Structure 1
Amino acid sequence: MAENLDEMTVQVITPDGIVYNHHGLFVLARTTGGEMGILPHMISTIAALAIDELKIRRPEDKKGKVDYVAVNGGIIEVSHNVVTIIADSAERERDIDVSRAERAKIRAERDIEKAKAEHKVDEVSRAEVSLHRALNRINVAKHL
Structure 2
Amino acid sequence: MADHKLDVTIVTPDGSVYDKKDATMIVLKTTGGDIGVMANHVPVVAGLKIDAVKVKFDDSEDEIAVNGGFVEFSNNVATIVADSAETPDDIDIERAQDAKDRAEQHIAHAKEVSDKDELARAEVALKRAINRLKLSEN
The aligned counterpart of 1:104 is 99
Matched, 1:54 2:49: no
Gaps of 5+ in 2: none
Is 1:7 the equivalent of 2:5? yes
Counterpart of 2:69 (choices 63, 74, 85) is 74
Identity over the aligned pairs, expressed in percent? 42
- Whether 1:90 and 2:85 are equivalent positions in the alignment is yes
Per-residue CA deviations over 1:69-91 (Å, capped at 9, x if unaligned) read: 00000000101100000011000
1:38 aligned onto 2:37: yes
Q: Which residue of 2 aligns with 1:139?
A: 134
Letter aligned with residue 123 of structure 1: E
Shift of 1:94: 1.2
Offset at residue 41 of structure 1 (A):
1.0
- Paired residue secondary structure (1:21): strand
Q: Which residue identity lines up with residue 19 of structure 1 in the other structure?
A: V
Report the TM-score when normalising by structure 2: 0.97
Unaligned runs of 5+ in 1: none
Q: Which residue of 1 aligns with 2:109?
A: 114
Superposed CA deviations along residues 74-115 of structure 1, whole A, max 9, x for unmatched, are: 000101100000011000111111110000000000000011
Q: Give the equivalent residue in structure 2 for 1:126.
A: 121
Matched position secondary structure for 1:6: coil
Aligned-partner Cα distance in 2 for 1:14–1:39: 23
What is the count of residue pairs matched by the alignment?
137
- Hey, what's the Cα distance between the residues in 1 that align with 2:135 and 2:31? 19
Indicate yes or no: 2:26 matched with 1:27: yes
Which residue identity lines up with residue 6 of structure 1 in the other structure?
Answer: H
Q: Deviations over 1:20-50 (max 9, x none)?
A: 0002111000001100100011111100000
* Secondary structure of residue in 2 paired with 1:41: coil
Secondary structure of the corresponding residue to residue 4 of structure 1: coil
